[in-house]
Amino acid sequence: MEREKALFISKTGNLKYLTDDFHRLYFGDEFCERLLPTGPELEEALEQAGRRGLPFTFVTPYVTEAGLGQVATLIKLLPDATEVVFNDWGVFSLLHSRFPALVPVLGRLLTKIKRGPRIAEFLDKLPRQAVEHLRKTNLGVPVYQKFLFEHNIMRAELDNPMQGLDLSDVPPQLHLSLYIPFTYITTTRFCLIANCDVPEKKGFIGVFPCQKQCRKYTFYLDNAVMTTHLIRRGNTVFYKNTNIPDELKDSDIDRVVIEPEVPH
């Protein structure tokens, strides 16, 4: 099966990665409303995609009420039939009620699966049924599938976890996208990166004004009991997984979303 290859970037400066190898452009942010693009930035990304004849997908994070208003302002700029990845049910409600001409896509934060890389350390010690459970997502739950289809959600986004994915219970009419190479582990509104470059704030933990230090700094975390390095970018932790399990190569995943840099 031929898969669509999409480029995912979160800032217009990374349009430099957009080459003829890609069939679609993803643009936006999944993890922080403070990193949503401005209107002119969104229009620039739309223009670049249009100039190349590429379909466009706008990516949105989980939001506060203020962030929801910001998302509403931005999606007014999108042409009809544009995909919008939502990682917040409030954003979906906005799309469903006010922007029915746009195409909702279930974000990977709402596709539930165990994500921590420590799983790989003990998979061989678990019963077969436990391993099968850890490879399943909520996309295989019939009542959830019914909800998605009733609300015209026909695509879902996936991470590439260490334990692999079992998608045998996902119906073929639900299209799937796989993100590579950065797998999201966890995220929070509490950003430990804020003030990381202010010496007099060393040792202080709290809520500080956002200076978008996450756009400048990436932290790599290691631990004696974990063989996989963790990557902290802003309020979110990732790990890198470039391995594509054999079972996915023959799966119904019809889109691969390439992240050239750690998200944010």
Q: Tell me the per-residue pLDDT of 44-91, one tens digit each, with 9 for 90 and over.
A: 999 999 999 999 999 999 999 999 999 999 999 999 999 999 999 999
**213 within domain boundaries:** no
**211 within domain boundaries:** no
Residue 97 has pLDDT above 70, yes or no: yes
pLDDT > 70 in the chain, percent: 96
Question: How many domains are contained in the chain?
Answer: 1
Q: Residue 154's pLDDT is what? A: 97
Q: Residue 247's pLDDT is what? A: 66
**178 within domain boundaries:** yes
**218 within domain boundaries:** no
Q: Residue 174's pLDDT is what? A: 96
Residue 1 has pLDDT above 70, yes or no: no
Residue 59 has φ and ψ, to the nearest 5°, of: -110, 135
Average pLDDT over residues 24-31: 98
Q: Residue 211's pLDDT is what? A: 80
Using CA atoms, how far apart are residues 29 and 226, in angstroms rounded to an integer?
A: 28
Closest Cα to residue 134, out of 156, 166, 177? 166
pLDDT in tens, 183-230: 999 998 888 777 778 777 777 766 677 888 888 889 898 887 777 889
* Residues whose CB is less than 8 angstroms from the CB of residue 74 and which lie 6 or more positions away in sequence, other chains included: 36, 37, 39, 42, 58
**212 within domain boundaries:** no
The domain in which residue 165 lies consists of 4-184+240-258
**9 within domain boundaries:** yes
For 230, the 3-state DSSP assignment is strand
CA angle 220, 191, 239 (to 5 degrees): 30
Q: Taking a C-beta distance cutoff of 8 angstroms, is the pair 28, 60 a contact?
A: yes
- Between these two residues, 1 and 143, which has the higher pLDDT value? 143
Residue 147 has pLDDT above 70, yes or no: yes
**31 within domain boundaries:** yes
Q: Residue 226's pLDDT is what? A: 76
The confidence band for 170, taking pLDDT boundaries of 50, 70 and 90, is: very high
CATH number of the domain to which 172 belongs: 3.20.20.380
**Token pair recorded at residue 179:** 């993100």
Peptide bond into 181 cis (omega under 30): yes
**231 within domain boundaries:** no
The confidence band for 131, taking pLDDT boundaries of 50, 70 and 90, is: confident
pTM: 0.93
